[in-house]
Structure 1
Amino acid sequence: MNEIKNPIIPGMAPDPSILRVGEDYYIATSTFHWKPAIQIFHSKNLVNWRLLTYALSDKDVDLQGTNTPAGIWAPHLSYDANQKKFWLAYCHVQNMAGREFNAESYIMSADQITGPWSKPQYLTSIGFDPSLFHDSDGKHYAAVLEWETRVGYQAPGHIVIAEVNLITGKVGDWHRVTTGFTTRGCVEAPQIYKHDGYYYLLLASGGTGYAHGVEVGRAKEIFGPYEPDPTGEPIVTSSPRHLFSLGNPDAGHFEMYNPQSKLQKSGHGSLVETPDRQWYLAHLMSRPLPGKKLNPLGRETSLQKMRWNEEGWLEMADGSNLAKSIVEVPAEVKQDWQFFNIDDHFTNGHYDQRFMTPYHGQSNEWVQVTDEKLLISGRNSFFSQVSPSIMGTRATSLNYDLQTKVTFHPKHYSETAGAGFYYDANNWFYVRLCQSDNEKQTVLRILQAKQGKRIDYYNDEVVISNEKVELKLHYELGLATVFYRLAETENWQQLAKQFDLSYLSDEGVNGEPGEIGGFTGLFNFIGAVDAYEHQSFGEFEYYQVTNHL
């Protein structure tokens, strides 16, 4: 056996759905307001994971105007061995105001994990976090959370199951099977597994914060009745102490922070069996900044070794329910963290597929590779939830450098290009080339958005006479320092002070009213703005992210 360190997929990789087909493992994760939507990672050994593809094409979903933290939630991967097809269920949360949580769930299929995927087929609007189960008798079932809006009823609602015809998309009667198997409440993300004659229903519970966990029940019939795990507690969590939270539809539960755990918020898991009949659970978790309950990297993906005990219940391999930072895996393979560095010089007419864009898709109307340079045409300001010209990648470490070289020729004070850190339209940090206020020269200046407030550091600008600059942004434990140089032979010069950007985290941003903030995570980006005539563009020679672990 070989020991590896969690997380296995650092950075924004929440709600992992793990699947093995043959010798290949796949994990699908949520992407919220980012496109391309639904990341699918691949591994041969459970140790090293690479981004393989995205499931939703630009035309499949419109995310313009999406408020934090709505968008694409909780994809669920499955494989129908009879039809030899991959299936993907997901939901598009379109509104969270008033805690209505209006969501549309869809299913789609493909012969290969890389697609092409079928056109998304509407499933239901009853709630969110759908999953599919393919039974051995050829029948198929969907499970989902039925969102509760009535006053005085168990929130957030029932877990419901229905038979579904995958050819026609027709859904049978929904059967309410449980409101949870522990007192933590806030159950969601139902997933069905079959083992030794029982149907096992795996649920996320305790809310998306520090009380998060994975709980389980089982039944002889798929519609129940389901009996809860006899421990009465989650089978995986970061905070094992007892919590009674029934009726609380969701909460950060900051009081459940466990200072003894390296992983926080462990929950929302899915099961996989290896070829040699070992069991693992992939689950989300977070890593707060030291001394703070702020999580810049959002919810990441970790792995736990599991076992079936003598009574037929699923539990962690060590018999506890505390999520571990170190886990044993079968493969004698070295964990390679270099996979998460990026060094893209835009060769062969392509840019790295890890680039994502908030709210809208990438097209050659605003981003293209020419002569081994990435050209980004400016459009809306970064406060826009419609079409900001941002090419971003997930931050995957709490200590790293972002580096790029940009050439830009602004003709108007509304034209800019540069690099920075981004969470959503109300929260970002942007180092950009722009016109000076007197419109006579090009300068390097910092612009910041903090919970919707615009902050322009005009007193710290420096003149860039040749309109070309190399930038290095150092991020360490929530603090950022900006460096620049005009030639590779020059030493790096610091621009302005050190900045506290710890608010660019799930808990530090201003999400929908009633929510703790966001559920995504910090991104690094290069981009451009043109609120003048949409004709200017930034010219980027390379994009580099180097993690310091």
Structure 2
Amino acid sequence: MITNPVVRGFAPDPSMIRVCNDYYLATSSFEWYPSIPIHRCADLASWHYIGSVEDAVPGGLDGVPDSGGIWAPALSHDGERFWIVYSVVRSVGNRYFDLDTYLSTALAAEGPWSRPVRVPSHGFDPSLFHYDGHLYLLNLQNDHRPGADRFGGIVLLELDRRSLAPVGSPHLLIQHDRLIEGPKMVFHDGWFILQLAEGGTGWEHGVRIARSRQLFGPYELDAHDLLTTRDDPAAVLAKAGHGELFDTPEGQWYLSHLAARPVEQAAGRFCELGRETCVQPIVWHDGWPRLAQGGHHPVVHVEPPAQSSGARGPATPLIPQPVDEQAQVPRWPWSTLREPANASWVREIGDAIVLRGRQGIESRWQNSLVAQRLSEHSGRFAATLLAEPASFTQAAGIVAWYDTTSHYELAITWAEPEGQSQRGQQWLNQGRRVVRLLSRTHEGAEVLAMADAPQGPVRLAMAWHAGAIRFEVDGEQLGPELSLAPLSDDVPRGALRFTGAMAGLHAEDLVDHSWWVRFTRLVLEQNVDEQGDS
């Protein structure tokens, strides 16, 4: 059986396709590198990271807001090469989004990918449709004007296959009273099938289908949702939406989609693992796709594709990628914020990671943070650190991270002698080395606990379970048990939030950017949660 989510922890907006006997998946990366992670498998169950679209963002992501950056990449294949199209969003929460849409190609999904080319940028969530030798760009139309519907419908524009220049004018395919975005297109049994993400990205999310006998419409909207959990507050796989249809070599159909696994807490339901990738089997009735299990709710366990005897060969071998042996940096599943890992500030030396402190932990520029996704509801992350800060402007430790305004930090830093006020005159006295637990929310930063740091190396750890997290210093808890709710999309505040909780390492040196610290004995253990059918 296939167990959903098939890619767990912060893997939203899945674009899943089949090429020969293999399946490929691209997901949103937002402000994180590697940009646009790509996975591959042969059975829809066992997915493996194979690379990313390096250099996807001309000019980089420095300064992009939290949950900005790369939104909803769409993979496709024209029989010869892979294509990917995506938007880089540089403003979140305003009318304009300030986005650019880019297109890149590759002979193999693991790369190398061509230099991105900017194409017409009507809105976010673009995709490509290859049909009858033509190349079409599908997109949401964003209407920024005051009083207008920001989600002004779905448009289709032909692109020249070589120059990628527009051919003619855009065609408005469909508009809807409910928010629709994320268009994808397949041609099935004489119908152009338009797949739409409906109802936003939260609890009201869903997948709606429209169809037409003609590419340019008119399109008839299905009276029923293909997939949603908006009517099921108890759903194990909640927020289900943003789907893409694809077939197997044997002619079966599946739907990839995102979903989230909520945890009940005193303040409500929260999905700190972010939005994850799932698959559901599909059958066709009267020209419409329907979930094979009936209804419109996703299930956790689904049947894998049937395989005809001898029909499926081995997975296509990977193309080896060059590795710079002189500058080893942390690689997947490690991720970095707003810039790729670079040996000038982060290095992997044996089983240790060494960081050079740079800007503060809330910075959207030169933030020395490396992290991995939380993929299960219980686990433990730990590292041993020997750090001798000389000033309150230096700190290093472990973090439970959502974004620059939502995180917990357990760090070794400098403080005045006990009983002395914070006067910013650290060079006048000896001070002391302390370990500090800090909370950052949209209301500001707060020190939750602080104690003198033990001499020598210090073991810092965090352990989480069922929506709660605690921090430890050399095996002893420091500070209170905390809620993971602030590290989710579901915090009741105005800003859009699209990523997921991470466990990571951080270092800052605000004055000199020259302080190196070493983390050893790194451990990240996550306990797989085998949930039943929803």
TM-score of the aligned structures, taking structure 2 as reference length: 0.89
Partners in 2 of 1:126 and 1:312 — Cα distance? Answer: 30
Q: Which runs of 5+ in 1 are unaligned?
A: 241-257, 333-345, 486-491
Q: Deviation string for 1:171-191 (max 9, x for gaps)?
A: 1310001014xx5x1100111
- Kindly indicate whether the alpha-carbon contact (under 8 Å) linking 2:151 and 2:180 is maintained by their aligned counterparts in 1: yes
2:453 — aligned with what? 463
Partners in 1 of 2:94 and 2:56 — Cα distance? Answer: 29
- Kindly indicate whether the alpha-carbon contact (under 8 Å) linking 1:102 and 1:125 is maintained by their aligned counterparts in 2: no
Instruction: Tell me which amino acid in the other structure corresponds to 1:272.
Output: F
**Helix, strand or coil for the counterpart of 1:98?**
coil
1:401 — aligned with what? 380
**Helix, strand or coil for the counterpart of 2:399?**
strand
Alpha carbons of structure 1 residues 416 and 89: separation in structure 2 relative to 1, 3 Å: same
Q: Does 1:392 align with 2:366?
A: no
Q: Counterparts of 1:289-304 in structure 2 under 5 Å? A: 289-291=263-265, 292-304=268-280
Q: Does 1:477 align with 2:466?
A: yes
**Helix, strand or coil for the counterpart of 1:95?**
coil
Q: Deviation string for 1:43-67 (max 9, x for gaps)?
A: 1210011222111327645212212
Q: Counterparts of 1:125-524 in structure 2 under 5 Å? A: 125-135=121-131, 137-151=132-146, 153-172=148-167, 173-180=169-176, 185-229=178-222, 232-240=223-231, 258-291=232-265, 292-309=268-285, 311-330=286-305, 349=328, 351-438=330-417, 439-451=430-442, 453-457=444-448, 459-466=449-456, 468-485=457-474, 492-508=475-491, 510=493, 513=494, 515=495, 517-524=496-503
Partners in 2 of 1:460 and 1:98 — Cα distance? Answer: 39
Q: Deviation string for 1:495-534 (max 9, x for gaps)?
A: 2221223211112275xx4x4x401111110111111211
- Kindly indicate whether the alpha-carbon contact (under 8 Å) linking 2:159 and 2:166 is maintained by their aligned counterparts in 1: yes
- Kindly indicate whether the alpha-carbon contact (under 8 Å) linking 2:2 and 2:44 is maintained by their aligned counterparts in 1: no
**Helix, strand or coil for the counterpart of 1:496?**
coil
1:70 — aligned with what? 68
Q: Deviation string for 1:319-347 (max 9, x for gaps)?
A: 31112222111379xxxxxxxxxxxxx9x
**Helix, strand or coil for the counterpart of 2:264?**
coil
- Kindly indicate whether the alpha-carbon contact (under 8 Å) linking 1:63 and 1:359 is maintained by their aligned counterparts in 2: yes
**Helix, strand or coil for the counterpart of 1:37?**
coil
TM-superposed CA distance for 1:19, in Å, is: 1.0
Partners in 2 of 1:103 and 1:418 — Cα distance? Answer: 34
Partners in 1 of 2:505 and 2:221 — Cα distance? Answer: 49
Matching residue within 531, 542, 545 for 2:510: 531
Instruction: Tell me which amino acid in the other structure corresponds to 1:300.
Output: E
TM-superposed CA distance for 1:16, in Å, is: 0.2
Instruction: Tell me which amino acid in the other structure corresponds to 1:484.
Output: V
Partners in 2 of 1:62 and 1:446 — Cα distance? Answer: 32
CA RMSD after TM alignment:
2.1
- Kindly indicate whether the alpha-carbon contact (under 8 Å) linking 1:34 and 1:358 is maintained by their aligned counterparts in 2: yes
Alpha carbons of structure 1 residues 9 and 409: separation in structure 2 relative to 1, 3 Å: same
**Helix, strand or coil for the counterpart of 2:481?**
strand
2:92 — aligned with what? 96
Q: How many residues align?
A: 496
TM-superposed CA distance for 1:300, in Å, is: 0.9
Partners in 2 of 1:400 and 1:371 — Cα distance? Answer: 24
Q: Which runs of 5+ in 2 are unaligned?
A: 308-324, 418-429, 529-534
- Kindly indicate whether the alpha-carbon contact (under 8 Å) linking 1:34 and 1:359 is maintained by their aligned counterparts in 2: yes
Partners in 2 of 1:59 and 1:27 — Cα distance? Answer: 19
Q: Deviation string for 1:422-449 (max 9, x for gaps)?
A: 1111111111111232343322221221
Partners in 2 of 1:354 and 1:546 — Cα distance? Answer: 13
Partners in 2 of 1:280 and 1:61 — Cα distance? Answer: 37
- Kindly indicate whether the alpha-carbon contact (under 8 Å) linking 1:264 and 1:286 is maintained by their aligned counterparts in 2: yes
Partners in 1 of 2:358 and 2:155 — Cα distance? Answer: 44
- Kindly indicate whether the alpha-carbon contact (under 8 Å) linking 1:409 and 1:536 is maintained by their aligned counterparts in 2: no
Partners in 1 of 2:521 and 2:335 — Cα distance? Answer: 16
Q: Deviation string for 1:66-97 (max 9, x for gaps)?
A: 1232211000000011xx11000000111234
- Kindly indicate whether the alpha-carbon contact (under 8 Å) linking 1:47 and 1:331 is maintained by their aligned counterparts in 2: no
1:87 — aligned with what? 83
Partners in 2 of 1:197 and 1:371 — Cα distance? Answer: 57
1:46 — aligned with what? 44
Partners in 1 of 2:407 and 2:195 — Cα distance? Answer: 36
- Kindly indicate whether the alpha-carbon contact (under 8 Å) linking 1:238 and 1:261 is maintained by their aligned counterparts in 2: yes
TM-superposed CA distance for 1:372, in Å, is: 4.0
Partners in 1 of 2:98 and 2:378 — Cα distance? Answer: 37
Partners in 1 of 2:89 and 2:274 — Cα distance? Answer: 19
Partners in 2 of 1:453 and 1:509 — Cα distance? Answer: 15
Partners in 1 of 2:350 and 2:221 — Cα distance? Answer: 61
**Helix, strand or coil for the counterpart of 1:207?**
coil
Partners in 2 of 1:545 and 1:108 — Cα distance? Answer: 34
**Helix, strand or coil for the counterpart of 1:503?**
helix
Alpha carbons of structure 1 residues 397 and 331: separation in structure 2 relative to 1, 3 Å: farther
Partners in 2 of 1:38 and 1:262 — Cα distance? Answer: 27
Matching residue within 512, 522, 527 for 1:548: 527
**Helix, strand or coil for the counterpart of 2:283?**
strand
- Kindly indicate whether the alpha-carbon contact (under 8 Å) linking 1:20 and 1:26 is maintained by their aligned counterparts in 2: yes
Q: Deviation string for 1:241-283 (max 9, x for gaps)?
A: xxxxxxxxxxxxxxxxx23321111000111211111111110
